[in-house]
């Protein structure tokens, strides 16, 4: 009986430690538009199998917008956010969640912006991590960004799924 109780306690403590560990790996991004004003946020939370991302933006044109993770932590609006460089895990011909040669680590589902200019989405990806190292580490030495494009991503076309110009960007930072 005592052995069973000790095992139950150790499993419970291990589960609590694991839950606390996942909760401590969080990051966020203040999203700015082309006018260099804050238009929203993104929150990132590391889970046991990937990262949950919550995005909320205001003031964008209605419709679906492509969302990608870019491999450089710099959002300069006067440069059209090109300083964020390309997608995390960029591979020639590999863009798109529905691409047989993809996806890239930075590929994400679209966000939908309503007629009121508000967009909100929650998405999950197994292809990146928060501070865990490797190609998909959002907090690597040169940082990373969340990018929103003007149009929907068709998840197949090269190089960016037809999603058009960059309209909003947020540097991802550890919380």
Domains (range + CATH), the chain: 26-174 (2.60.40.200)
HEC-encoded secondary structure of 39-57: EEEEEEEECCCCEEEEEEE
CA distance 112 to 66: 9
Q: How much is the pLDDT for 135?
A: 84
**Tens-digit pLDDT profile for residues 52-97:** 999 999 999 999 999 999 999 999 999 899 999 999 988 888 899 9
**Tens-digit pLDDT profile for residues 92-113:** 888 999 999 999 999 999 999 9
**Tens-digit pLDDT profile for residues 6-46:** 434 333 333 333 333 444 599 999 999 999 999 999 999 99
**Tens-digit pLDDT profile for residues 145-170:** 999 999 999 999 998 999 999 999 99
Q: How much is the pLDDT for 2?
A: 46
How far is CA 77 from its chain centroid? 19
Q: How much is the pLDDT for 125?
A: 97
Q: How much is the pLDDT for 128?
A: 97
CA distance 76 to 145: 11
Q: How much is the pLDDT for 55?
A: 99
| Strand pairing class (38-46; 119-125) | unpaired
Q: Is 165 exposed, middle or buried (0-12, 13-18, 19+ CB in 10 A)?
A: exposed
């Amino acid at each position: 009986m005592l052995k069973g109780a000790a095992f139950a306690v150790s499993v419970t403590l291990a589960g609590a430690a694991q839950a606390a560990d996942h909760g401590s790996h969080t990051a966020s991004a203040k999203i700015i538009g082309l006018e260099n004003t804050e238009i929203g946020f993104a929150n990132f939370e590391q889970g046991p199998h990937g990262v949950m991302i919550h995005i909320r933006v205001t003031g964008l044109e209605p419709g679906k917008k492509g969302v990608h993770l870019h491999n450089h932590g710099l959002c300069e609006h006067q440069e059209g956010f090109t300083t964020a460089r390309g997608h995390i895990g960029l591979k020639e011909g590999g863009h798109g969640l529905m691409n047989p040669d993809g996806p890239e680590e930075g590929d994400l589902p679209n966000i939908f912006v309503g007629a009121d200019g508000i967009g909100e989405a929650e998405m999950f990806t197994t292809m990146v991590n928060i501070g865990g190292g490797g190609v998909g580490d959002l907090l690597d030495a040169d940082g990373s960004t969340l990018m929103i494009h003007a149009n929907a991503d068709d998840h197949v076309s090269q190089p960016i799924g037809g999603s058009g110009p960059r309209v909003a960007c947020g540097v991802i930072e550890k919380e």
